[in-house]
Amino acid sequence: AGPRRRPAMLLGPWLVAAAAAAVAAGAGAGCPVLCTCHGQAVDCSGQRLFSVPPELPLDTGNLSLAHNRIASIPPGYLACYGQLRALDLRNNSLAALPAGLFLGARRLAHLDLSYNNFSLVAADMFLEASGLLRLDLSHNPGLRRVHPQAFRGLAQLRELDLSYGGLSAISLDALEGLPGLVGLRLGGNPWVCGCAMEPFLKWLRGRIQRCASDSQLAECRAPPEVAGAPLLSLTEESFQACHLTLTLDDYLFIAFVGFVVSIASVATNFLLGITANCCHRWSKASEDEDV
């Protein structure tokens, strides 16, 4: 008898079904409700969402959640989306990001967090997003502080936007760990250009030749004598008073002078008292003689 071929024919439909299932599994969930999907781009912007979509296609490369009302993101939300390259979260109600949010998003290059409610850029906030090239934190009016370790691990970052926040100062440590930075925006913040600002301005002057910056738009808000002045208009002479430090000998000399002045004052008052007393007695004696 010839070879049996019927079992092979029966396996054909099962192989097709298995292949289709594998493709479907690779794509992950379908396009989320209220979102539109084109290729690897998922657009959920402007839908008045209060939370992020529970599931996305696994091959999502560009995700826009802009112009919604999202106030929080679940921990580990991006863990399964290793193809994600751009994440747009602007114009939401975010005040913080969960720890480890970017653990699975190794290819993330563009992150927009502008127009939110951040008051602090916390330490290691982007540590797992080591591939970031552009980070936008502009237009967070409540942003008052950037932790010195906020941008740790972002050695490839090229553009950083911190404009139009509430920053009055920034730690130099936060920026020195960004060797690839070529674009920095600082305008629209209430910078206090006191002595503590000098190291940052010195660093900024050194970078301005190779770093596109809006530092001419960034102005001092205080102290009053430099209010309205562009940051880079301040020179070393502007901080000359910050270097007038007193040594121990200076303090001893001041104390000695103060002691001498005090003694001289007491002696002068004593002599004036004696003189006044003598004059009074002399005047009284003269009156008695006249009588």
DSSP three-state, residue 42: strand
Boundaries of every domain in the chain: 39-243
Do the Cβ atoms of 221 and 227 come closer than 8 Å? yes
My answer on whether omega of the bond before 74 falls inside 30° of 0, hence cis, is no
- List the one residue out of 193, 269, 266 whose CA is nearest residue 233: 193
Q: Note the pLDDT of residue 144.
A: 97
Neighbours of 270 (CB within 10 A): 10
Q: What is the CATH superfamily name and number for domain 39-243?
A: Ribonuclease Inhibitor (3.80.10.10)
Q: What is the pTM of this model?
A: 0.74
Neighbours of 127 (CB within 10 A): 17
Handedness of CA 148, 153, 155, 158 (dihedral sign): negative
Q: Write down how long the chain is.
A: 291
Count CA within 13 A, CB hemisphere, residue 81.
Answer: 23
Question: Each residue of 218-271: pLDDT tens digit?
Answer: 889 998 988 888 887 887 677 766 866 655 655 566 776 777 777 877 777 777
Q: Note the pLDDT of residue 17.
A: 39
Q: Judging by DSSP bridges, how do beta strands 145-146 and 134-136 pair with one another?
A: unpaired
Question: Each residue of 80-112: pLDDT tens digit?
Answer: 999 999 999 999 999 999 999 999 899 999 999
What is the 8-class DSSP label of residue 267? H
Kindly indicate the confidence band of residue 161, based on its pLDDT and cuts at 50, 70 and 90: very high
Do the Cβ atoms of 14 and 42 come closer than 8 Å? no
Q: Note the pLDDT of residue 225.
A: 86
Do the Cβ atoms of 220 and 194 come closer than 8 Å? no
Report how far residue 262's alpha carbon sits from residue 266's, in angstroms, rounded to the nearest whole number: 6
